[in-house]
Amino acid sequence: MAKQFLSGDEAFAYGIRLARPHVISAYPITPQTIVVEKLSEFVEDGSLKSEFIHVESEHSALSCAIGASSVGARAFTATSSQGLLYMAECLPYAAGGRFPIVMMNANRSTALPWNIYGDQRDSLSQLDSGWIQAYAENAQEALDLALLGYYIAENKAVSTPFMANLDGFVLTHTYEVVDVPSQEQADEFLPLFETENKMSLEKPKNLAFSAGPDTNSIFKYKEHIGILNAKSVIAEAEGKFEAIFGRKYTGLTENYQTEDADYILITLGSISGLVREIVDKLRKNGEKVGLLKIRYMRPFPNEEIAQAVKNAKAVAVLEKDISFGNEGAVYTNVNSALQKAEINIPSSNYIGGLGGKNISPQEIEDIFAEIKSGISDIKFLGIGGV
């Protein structure tokens, strides 16, 4: 293992090099560009032996990856924002075809107004596309998700594409010290991609066929079971990961000071780091507050959330997303988890960080102060000239 000073994008590219995909097809888009640049450099200097396909669009990028995966190749692509939306048609193709592609998405706002900065409306709008969705908090987790992603996606019981999300700029462009594992360690963790989907003259296959009303529900149900199977495979993957690399991950969620907490803030992605600091600060003042970080939006951690908040007096969800005309998508999912577990406590939604708007420490303190009121509310941060 070697320590390097890397941005989130670079860290992810190093993780992908360790995973040794056969095919990389990608189209550059801010703030994902560095991943594509870095990987093309790796291919150029010979340190990564992959077929690097320069495509003309994101739609083609994922289509290429699907084609490669369908005949047995390990495939990678990356995108962001409008690029993700442009490839949206192909997302359910990859998921329905059960092609274990890994994709990095740099979370970025969607137009209009045009904006290149970070929020999570791009990926959260694609929750129903059938992909596993993970959210990294830092560059180290980003690199690790590249390896974990293939391990989880390629498990036969899962066979589901994996989307690793990094907050645009906050993660993709900021630098930190990252442990880069050796190739030997990575090979020990991640076995070669074994699939029945091989181009074969002896056993020719019908690829990406249609299925009418009589069998379609069965295909969709099996797809659903596949992504649910990821829950146990994520645990298995993280166990093996810790044994080899010494870094521990905590499954679909990560709890911080939630055990005796009266008030819990639920969030995802890089903002979790700031919330953790505020929890520490408020704890020093004797306030029983905690953080629940969602690491995976699909499969959704219904049981984990219910278990973590069952003794709390109130919760709030802080997210960089709004499902216009309703509320944040994460909030909707969290409330469903609470309702199913018959947990009836006030639950508020804070929508912040849209279009890269900074979320300040004071705003997080204010959220903790407000949720004590016992009122459930949906509020936008950053609209009052903060």
Partner 1 sequence: MKPFLREKVPVNFEDVPDTTSFEAGYLVTKNAGWRNVRPVIDTAKCVGCLNCYLYCPDGVIFKKDGKVAIDYDFCKGCGICKKICKVQAIELEAEK
CB 297 → partner 1: shortest distance, Å?
A: 24
Tokens of 23: 């095919």
Residue 56 interacts with partner 1 (CB under 8 A): yes or no = no
Burial category of 44 from C-beta neighbours within 10 Å (exposed 0-12, middle 13-18, buried 19 and up): exposed
Amino acid letter for position 153: A
Tokens of 302: 């219904």
Q: Cα–Cα distance between 216 and 181 in angstroms, integer? A: 43
CB 113 → partner 1: shortest distance, Å?
A: 39
Name which of residues 223 to 262 contact partner 1 (CB under 8 A): 226
Q: Cα–Cα distance between 162 and 150 in angstroms, integer? A: 8
Q: How many chain residues touch partner 1 (CB under 8 A)?
A: 23
The DSSP output letter for 355 is G
CB 209 → partner 1: shortest distance, Å?
A: 6
3-state secondary structure of 347: strand
3-state secondary structure of 85: helix
Measured from the CB atom, the residue of 222 and 340 that comes closer to partner 1 is: 222
Name which of residues 3 to 22 contact partner 1 (CB under 8 A): none
Residue 130 interacts with partner 1 (CB under 8 A): yes or no = no
Near partner 1 by CB under 8 A, which window of 117-125, 161-169, 209-217, 337-345?
A: 209-217
Contact pattern for partner 1 over residues 142 through 181, marking x by CB under 8 A: -----------------x----------------------
CB 69 → partner 1: shortest distance, Å?
A: 10
Residue 214 interacts with partner 1 (CB under 8 A): yes or no = yes
CB 385 → partner 1: shortest distance, Å?
A: 52
* Side-by-side strand order, sheet with 289-294: 253-256, 289-294, 263-268, 314-319, 347-351, 378-380
Alpha-carbon distance values, 2 to 179, 181, 182, 186, 245 (Å): 6, 6, 7, 13, 12
Near partner 1 by CB under 8 A, which window of 123-131, 182-190, 202-210, 311-319?
A: 202-210
In the beta sheet, which residues pair with residue 334?
Answer: none
Q: Cα–Cα distance between 370 and 364 in angstroms, integer? A: 10
Measured from the CB atom, the residue of 114 and 209 that comes closer to partner 1 is: 209
CB 156 → partner 1: shortest distance, Å?
A: 9
The DSSP output letter for 358 is P
* Residue in 111, 177, 218, 369 binding partner 1, rule: CB under 8 A: 218
Name which of residues 86 to 125 contact partner 1 (CB under 8 A): 96-98
Q: Is-contact 76 21, C-beta < 8 A?
A: yes
CB 218 → partner 1: shortest distance, Å?
A: 4
Measured from the CB atom, the residue of 111 and 225 that comes closer to partner 1 is: 225
DSSP string, 128-176: GGS-EEEE-SSHHHHHHHHHHHHHHHHSTTT---EEEEEETTTTTS-EE
* Residue in 111, 177, 211, 369 binding partner 1, rule: CB under 8 A: 211
Residue 200 interacts with partner 1 (CB under 8 A): yes or no = no
**Within 13 Å, how many C-alpha atoms sit on residue 365's CB side?**
10
CB 158 → partner 1: shortest distance, Å?
A: 11
Measured from the CB atom, the residue of 212 and 286 that comes closer to partner 1 is: 212
Amino acid letter for position 383: I
CB 197 → partner 1: shortest distance, Å?
A: 5
Q: Cα–Cα distance between 354 and 362 in angstroms, integer? A: 17
Q: Cα–Cα distance between 161 and 94 in angstroms, integer? A: 7
Residue 219 interacts with partner 1 (CB under 8 A): yes or no = yes
* Residue in 7, 32, 50, 70 binding partner 1, rule: CB under 8 A: 70
CB 164 → partner 1: shortest distance, Å?
A: 22
Residues that bind partner 1 (CB under 8 A): 70, 96-98, 159, 196-197, 203-209, 211-212, 214-215, 218-219, 221-222, 226
